[in-house]
Amino acid sequence: MVVYVSAALRHARVVNLDRGSTDQSAYMGYARSLAESNYTYVGDRNRMPLYPILQSLAYDPGATAEEWFARGKALNIALSVCCLIGLFAMLRCHLPAAAAIALTLIVAFTVLVFKAGYFQAEILFYTLNFFSFLLMNRLLHRPSWKEGVAAGALLGLSHLTKASVIPGLALFFVVGALELAYGLHTTRRTRSTGQASAVGQKGIRSHVATWVCVGLAFLLTVGPYLVNSKRVYGQYFYNVNSTFYLWYDSWDEAKEGTRAHGDRYGWPDMPPEMIPSAGKYLREHTPAEIIGRVTNGLEALFRQAVQSYGYFKYEVVYLVSALILALAYHRHTRRLLLQHRFLWLFNALYFAAYLLLYAWFTPICSGNRLPLAQFLPLMFGLSVVIYRLYGEVARVAFRGRSVSLTTVLTVAVLFLLAYDAYDVITHRIVSMYGGS
């Protein structure tokens, strides 16, 4: 942790010198407006309010812009330390100690250390989004109204940090509805045959109560923000990115379009036929153009990941390891797929949907900030597959002893990480910009 903090402070001091770059001045302005208005400032519906609220607590009207910029960066580094501690504690509940340590260090030295020294909401969002993802998976595996309340509240806080959780929440409800429908079908079938139900009425009631609690807790958490959005902008879930910019072909189009016509202050003052929407986009673009945008976006995401801070190699190592184990122990894999079919379905849809959304949005906003929101969920999911689902079965005999393949993987990752961390703290931390 000492090495991590030292590297993050060095990056903030040497690399991140321009507060006007990558939305930092906008976040500073948002936080200042909140503090000076006694928290009555509505915002511009581009950036969400939770992170500016946290930063506004450290606002000093007598400080210069540079002094407050430095204070905000230091606060974000302290926040990243808290997030790492919470992350490790949660990982340790689900993974072996060495695997939890390895994953925490990967996150720390290939992602967060490059993001900590900035006046940006990414680290807070990455953490809240990961815990929300974890709770959604837990609820699909074992419904609980108490954890449903926690999941809804965390999803609400995530939404108030970055307006990016609605697709995942929608998929959670869709898969939950499919799981409930399957449970009802199983109950009816077992009744007709006189067998014991695999789900039962109690299980169905638990599912319904859980999903209701998630929805209510989410709406209660974001309710005041939604009401203000409806009052000022005309829509409860108004956000300039998802409402308008998503349907432009470039950032220049967005600047000349709704942004130039007041979308940050209210509904844009434009003729209705000029306002972008999904229907308008589909009418004006051919299928080839739409497919081309997605494929070009996927290529851009891949290129950015390969050329980035170093996290991509670990995604490849964990993904390939999980695939090898799944194929090598195919009978065990088949049992797992049947036993946890709705968990597998949710995760497949979740990562596929966000990958396509990030690819689609690349012409408007490129860089690592968006796709890295799913780095923690992806690495955690792969770690659970490797260490929890195959940890006991993936063993080979070596010189008369049984050796765990997952232990071999952990040792190899730690050796790779040792080299990577050394390269980060001696070279990359002062040569790579981490805000984009």
209 belongs to a structural domain: yes
279 belongs to a structural domain: no
CA dist 380 and 134 (Å) reads 9
User: Over 80: is that where the pLDDT of 282 sits?
Assistant: yes
195 belongs to a structural domain: yes
55 belongs to a structural domain: no
User: Over 60: is that where the pLDDT of 198 sits?
Assistant: no
Long-range interactions of 78-85: CB distance < 8 A, separation 24+: 79/54, 79/116, 79/123, 79/124, 80/8, 80/112, 80/115, 80/116, 80/123, 81/1, 81/4, 81/5, 83/112, 83/123, 83/124, 83/126, 83/127, 84/1, 84/4, 84/108, 84/112
269 belongs to a structural domain: no
pLDDT value for 197: 43
CA dist 201 and 249 (Å) reads 50
Answer for the pair 98, 371: CB distance below 8 angstroms, yes or no.
no
What residue spans of 95-165 are helical by DSSP H? 97-107, 113-115, 122-141, 145-161
User: Over 50: is that where the pLDDT of 195 sits?
Assistant: no
Confidence bin at 378 (pLDDT 50/70/90): very high
pLDDT value for 196: 42
User: What are the structure tokens assigned to 303, written together?
Assistant: 């290129």
Range of the domain at 219: 124-238
**pLDDT tens, residue by residue, 203-214:** 788 888 999 999
pLDDT value for 202: 65
82 belongs to a structural domain: no
CA dist 120 and 26 (Å) reads 9
* 237 DSSP assignment: T
Average of per-residue pLDDT across 409-417: 94
Counting the structural domains of the chain, the total is: 1
Answer for the pair 216, 151: CB distance below 8 angstroms, yes or no.
no
160 belongs to a structural domain: yes
pLDDT value for 211: 92
341 belongs to a structural domain: no
Report the share of the chain in percent with pLDDT over 90. Answer: 82
Among all chains, which residue has been given the structure tokens 């945008």? 293
pLDDT value for 360: 95
**pLDDT tens, residue by residue, 10-49:** 999 999 999 999 899 999 999 999 999 999 998 889 999 9
Tell me the pTM. Answer: 0.93
Q: How far is CA 355 from CA 209, 251, 301, 347, 370, in A?
A: 31, 20, 9, 12, 10
